[in-house]
Amino acid sequence: MSTPLRNSATRPLVLGSTSVYRRELLSRLRLPFSVEPPHVDETPLPGEQPEALARRLAEAKCAAVAKRHPGAVVIGSDQVADLDGEALGKPGNHANALTQLSRMSGRTVVFHTALAVMCEETGFAQQDLAPVRVRFRALETSEIEAYLRAEQPYDCAGSAKSEALGIALLDSIDSDDPTALVGLPLIRTCRMLRAAGLRPF
């Protein structure tokens, strides 16, 4: 069972991530933090469902960095796009992104954004999931091509940046934690950091 950290005001905060989007989001809380790549294999396990994959990777990333910084409060997060039970990862290139967006056209995709916060030294550990239901418009191939040329979102699960031009591809977003779709659910992050004894103000 997790217990709040003691004397945690002096504990460093580390974001275990290579994502520039998560770094920008965490900076909004105005807490000093460092960033360290977790170096975790993100290959799905056989038969692993998207939600389970997101949870496992968030915890694995957090644990990997926490072991290297046992006195720090560490944040780990992962996002997996779920299209009818199929995990959609980062497209990596134009062709894959075109295929992803074509498949998601006119459909609802659930983006599972998992979060973990740990401190190795004290045994503090919490995790949560922020699912976001996203409805894509019926998209013409020409629209998809124009969007991909303009934004090149090849490092984003689901091939669209909702915080930028990608919002024009969508009909609706349903979430109780608005920044979850970008990559880090800040409401849940604040809740866990408070439980760990760290407060933005």
What are phi and psi for residue 42, nearest 5 degrees? Answer: -100, 15
Range of lowest pLDDT (74-78, 88-92, 99-103, 190-194)? 88-92
Report the alpha-carbon distance of residue 186 to residue 26 in Å, rounded: 7
In the chain, % of residues over pLDDT 90: 92
Which of 78, 82, 128, 177 is flagged as catalytic? 78
71 touches 11 (CB < 8 A): yes
- Please check whether residue 81 lies inside any domain of the structure: yes
- Please check whether residue 60 lies inside any domain of the structure: yes
Say if residue 42's pLDDT is above 60. yes
| Structural domain range at position 166 | 8-195
- Please check whether residue 161 lies inside any domain of the structure: yes
Residue type present at position 91: P
* 110: nearest Cα among 139, 140, 86, 76: 86
161 touches 91 (CB < 8 A): no
- Please check whether residue 42 lies inside any domain of the structure: yes
- Please check whether residue 36 lies inside any domain of the structure: yes
| pLDDT for the residue numbered 6 | 42
| pLDDT for the residue numbered 9 | 53
| pLDDT for the residue numbered 5 | 43
Say if residue 181's pLDDT is above 90. yes
- Please check whether residue 26 lies inside any domain of the structure: yes
What are phi and psi for residue 139, nearest 5 degrees? Answer: -110, 135
Active site residue 128: no
- Mean pLDDT, the chain, integer: 94
CATH number where 23 lies:
3.90.950.10
* 111: nearest Cα among 185, 43, 41, 187: 185
- Which tokens in the block code for residue 93? 């290139």
- Please check whether residue 21 lies inside any domain of the structure: yes
Say if residue 163's pLDDT is above 70. yes
Maximum separation of any 2 CA atoms in the chain, in Å: 56
**Which class for 140: exposed (0-12), middle (13-18), buried (19 or more C-beta within 10 A)?**
exposed
Q: Please give the helix or strand (H or E) that residue 4 lies within, else none.
A: none
String of DSSP letters for 87-155:
EE----SHHHHHHHHHHHTTSEEEEEEEEEEEETTTTEEEEEEEEEEEEEP---HHHHHHHHHHH--TT
| pLDDT for the residue numbered 8 | 43
- Please check whether residue 61 lies inside any domain of the structure: yes
pTM assigned to the model: 0.90
Residue with tokens 């933005």: 200
Question: Total structural domains in the chain?
Answer: 1
| pLDDT for the residue numbered 201 | 81
Report the alpha-carbon distance of residue 42 to residue 24 in Å, rounded: 22
